[in-house]
Amino acid sequence: MKKRILLLAGGQSGEHEVSLMSARSVLNALPRDRFDVTPVVISKQGRWLPPTETTKALETGKSAPGGDLVLHRAASAEGYDAVFPLLHGPMGEDGTIQGLMTLAGIPFVGSGVLGSAVSMDKVMTKQVLAAVGIPQVAWQLALRRDWQQNPQGVKDEAVKLGFPFFVKPANLGSSVGISKVHNEGEMDRAFELAFSLDRRVIVEAMTSHKPREVEVGILGNDAPIASPVGELSFDADFYDYETKYTEGVAQMHIPARIPGEVAENIRELALKAFKALDCAGLARVDFFYVAETGEVLLNEVNTMPGFTTTSMYPKLFEAAGLSYGELVARLVELALEKR
Ligand code: ADP
Ligand code: MG
Ligand code: MG
């Protein structure tokens, strides 16, 4: 019998449009002889759009406001064998939707509440990964309250990391709200921006030299496998939103142009991180490789990485011999095996 899949896309985060693009690719790729797929687009306001508006959003890449309350639709999701929450960022990749599906008793693709929530928060991720000895840059946590009550104190702490450093909202993605701070004059704007988006902000030392950006895909539940290592190159100060999403600005290299033993080390560290964070199904684990010193530093773990046919995660597994269609089918199987 065909499996009935509910594909969730869009969502309330700044990565709404990215999610719509990914969902269109997944919808086209899931083998029709095995899966019966119903897409539902979640508006930026968090409402679940009815079929006509969902189709329109997927076709145009933009969604209208309106739609149902979340809980109303979740109840009707009981008619599905599995949910594919192809949502990025807060209210999608952070354990909230995963909690709803868990309560409703419906299997879903990807990490559960714990793995999703911990991996979404850059501070929690760093704390957990430090406990298992995974190398990372030096960092600090600052709360919005600290900034409101004593901004000078927050700045005095941050400069101890040395310029330049990075200021990031702890729970976002796609480089939204991230600043590279080169001098004292840039501090106020960076913190104001990050705190306008999150209560928790991470301040990170920059790698000792401009890093090479390398990424690994992980696939599986309790016996996960790692893809080959991929690399992104670009001509910009750092991998910001514009560089990520402007066609032709960043180049993908698979395999990464790094020594074989470094790639092997990166794959092992990625698997270790996936397990330590209790991830499931899939994750893209991103690293910095500092060629000058040979350092490998884990940057972040994305539990629902970009998923268009040209995105890094599916491309990495394609290089390992798994086609896009086979990959999405495997992810649904992993969701059904998870319980
Ligand atoms: P996001 O989750 O939004 O992708 P990242 O933490 O991956 O945020 O940061 C986005 C980009 O900023 C990275 O890909 C890298 O180019 C740059 N960057 C972030 N932190 C550092 C750092 N500590 N040292 C050097 N570059 C960094
Ligand atoms: Mg991210
Ligand atoms: Mg990133």
* Ligand 1 atom nearest 286 alpha carbon: 7
Cα(59) to ligand 1 centroid in Å equals: 31
Residues of the chain above pLDDT 70, percent: 97
Alpha helices in the chain (DSSP H): 16-29, 51-60, 70-76, 96-104, 113-120, 122-131, 144-149, 151-159, 187-197, 241-245, 260-276, 312-319, 324-337
From 139, 178, 212, the mutation candidate for ligand 1 (largest count of ligand atoms within 8 A of CB) is: 178
The confidence score (pLDDT) of residue 173 equals 85
Mean pLDDT within 209-222: 97
Model confidence at 130, pLDDT cuts 50, 70, 90, reads: very high
Cα(36) to ligand 2 centroid in Å equals: 30
198 and 237 part of one domain: no
Instruction: Go through the chain and tell me how many residues it has.
Output: 339
- Cα of first residue to Cα of last residue in the chain, in angstroms, is 20
Three-state secondary structure of 108-164: ECCCCHHHHHHHHCHHHHHHHHHHCCCCCCCEEEEEHHHHHHCHHHHHHHHHCCCCC
55 and 67 part of one domain: yes
Helix axes 16-29, 324-337, angle to 10 degrees: 100
Q: Residue 79: is its pLDDT beyond 80?
A: yes
Rounded CA separation 90/117 (Å): 9
Kindly state if the Cβ of 231 falls inside 6 Å of ligand 1: no
Output the residue whose Cα is nearest ligand 1's atom 25.
206
- pLDDT tens for each residue of 137-170: 999 999 999 999 999 999 999 999 999 999 999 9
165 and 294 part of one domain: no
Q: Edge-to-edge, what's the strand order for the sheet holding 165-169?
A: 139-143, 200-205, 165-169, 179-181
Output the residue whose Cα is nearest ligand 1's atom 19.
166
Mean pLDDT within 173-202: 96
Which domain-ending residue is among 160, 181, 205?
205
Kindly state if the Cβ of 115 falls inside 6 Å of ligand 1: no
Coil, strand, or helix at residue 60?
helix
- pLDDT tens for each residue of 32-62: 899 999 999 999 999 999 888 899 999 999 8
128 and 239 part of one domain: yes
Q: What share of the chain is helix, strand, coil (3-state, %, to 5)?
A: 40, 25, 35
Coil, strand, or helix at residue 259?
coil
The confidence score (pLDDT) of residue 50 equals 86
Q: Residue 227 sits in a domain of what CATH number?
A: 3.30.470.20
Kindly state if the Cβ of 98 falls inside 6 Å of ligand 1: no
86 and 175 part of one domain: no
Rounded CA separation 53/62 (Å): 10
86 and 101 part of one domain: yes
The confidence score (pLDDT) of residue 73 equals 67
The helix (H) or strand (E) run that includes residue 231 is: strand 225-234
The confidence score (pLDDT) of residue 68 equals 75
The confidence score (pLDDT) of residue 221 equals 98
- Main-chain phi, psi angles of 292, to 5 degrees: -60, -35
β-pair partners for 39: 7
Q: Does the residue 308 lie in any domain?
A: no
Cα(66) to ligand 3 centroid in Å equals: 31
Kindly state if the Cβ of 93 falls inside 6 Å of ligand 1: no
Output the residue whose Cα is nearest ligand 1's atom 18.
238
- Contact between residue 209 and residue 293 where contact means Cβ atoms under 8 Å apart: yes
Rounded CA separation 303/90 (Å): 12
The confidence score (pLDDT) of residue 245 equals 85
The confidence score (pLDDT) of residue 235 equals 92
Tokens representing 173 are: 């993605």
ipTM of this predicted structure = 0.99
Which domain-ending residue is among 160, 179, 205?
205
- Residues acting as catalytic residues: 15, 174, 245, 284, 286, 300, 302, 306
- pLDDT tens for each residue of 293-336: 999 999 999 999 999 998 999 999 999 999 999 999 999 999 99
Tokens representing 336 are: 């059904």
Q: Residue 241: is its pLDDT beyond 70?
A: yes
- Name the average pLDDT for the chain: 94
The confidence score (pLDDT) of residue 78 equals 67
Q: Does the residue 334 lie in any domain?
A: no
Output the residue whose Cα is nearest ligand 1's atom 21.
206
Kindly state if the Cβ of 14 falls inside 6 Å of ligand 1: no
The confidence score (pLDDT) of residue 52 equals 87
192 and 166 part of one domain: yes
Q: Residue 71: is its pLDDT beyond 70?
A: no
From 137, 212, 299, the mutation candidate for ligand 1 (largest count of ligand atoms within 8 A of CB) is: 299
Provide the domain limits for residue 150.
Answer: 139-205
- Contact between residue 5 and residue 83 where contact means Cβ atoms under 8 Å apart: yes
Cα(336) to ligand 3 centroid in Å equals: 29
From 18, 166, 197, the mutation candidate for ligand 1 (largest count of ligand atoms within 8 A of CB) is: 166
Mean pLDDT within 185-189: 98
Q: Does the residue 239 lie in any domain?
A: yes
Kindly state if the Cβ of 206 falls inside 6 Å of ligand 1: yes
Strands 250-253 and 212-220: unpaired
